[in-house]
Amino acid sequence: MKKMVFLGWLVMFLPAMVFGQEKVDAPVWNVGDKWVFTGEGTIEVSKIDPNGYVVKFSDNICSFERQGFHTTIFDKSTLQRIYTLEGDKQRKYILGLKNIFNFPLSPGKQWEHKYSARAEFPRPVQTSRGVPTYDYYEKMKILGWEDIGVKAGKFRTLKIEFIRGNEAQQIGMFPGPASEGKGYYWYSPDVKYFVKCEYDKSWVEQPKEIFNWELISFQLKK
């Protein structure tokens, strides 16, 4: 009888236990944590303040990832981008990749972000009034766990599908075309960051290294 009760308890709670094992909470970053990517791109935690983690992006391969900012503050609980930092001035972060992180993570989770910005990628449409502003949407979905190998080693990762697009809209006298691009990010709990990023060919009109990169090495401080 006791054995049957135990088996019943196990059947009832095993799905919850498995789900709990798949759920990934936000990592704890420390000052000095650093990730080095192909193309001589680096990302480093330079400071921790009351608002979150202060992270510095290098140029080169990280030019798309930094979205025009060299220093960004990430929220501690979700790792969403909440502020940009220019000198001592903090400004609310509203541009792309704001929610590329959205902890906790688990297979099947989906979320979105909308914002307005000048068209930069793919190749911007130039008008007599300059580069127009578009209304963008970003959609993220965790496809599941995947083991992948990069220059830094082999890792167990969560694969995230990333879609960015804009609806057709009027630009002066001319219609602005709708566009959409897709990419993938692979997040490793052991590395505490993405180990690889890869976009489809429609996004690679610019040098592909701007979009596609992988982890070469990393250091995590205690």
- The DSSP code for 132 is P
Instruction: For residue 30, give Cα distances in angstroms to 33, 55, 71, 109, 130.
Output: 6, 10, 16, 27, 42
Residue bearing tokens 């608002």: 51
Q: Given this model, what pLDDT does residue 21 score?
A: 52
Distance (Å, whole) CA 10 – CA 213: 43
Q: Given this model, what pLDDT does residue 63 score?
A: 73
Q: Given this model, what pLDDT does residue 111 score?
A: 98
Looking from the CA of 133 toward its CB, the CA atoms found within 13 Å total 4
Report the CATH number of the 32-219 domain. 2.40.360
Q: Given this model, what pLDDT does residue 37 score?
A: 94
For the segment 147-193, what is each residue's pLDDT rounded down to a tens digit?
999 999 999 999 999 998 887 665 555 556 677 889 999 999 999 99
* 3-state SS class at 78: coil
Looking from the CA of 112 toward its CB, the CA atoms found within 13 Å total 5
Distance (Å, whole) CA 105 – CA 177: 34
Q: Which residues of the chain have pLDDT under 70?
A: 1-21, 61-62, 119-131, 168-177, 201-210
Q: Given this model, what pLDDT does residue 18 score?
A: 37
Q: Given this model, what pLDDT does residue 129 score?
A: 52
Q: Given this model, what pLDDT does residue 11 score?
A: 40
Q: How many degrees, rounded to 5, is the angle at CA 64 between CA 61 and CA 66?
A: 95
pTM, two decimals, is 0.81
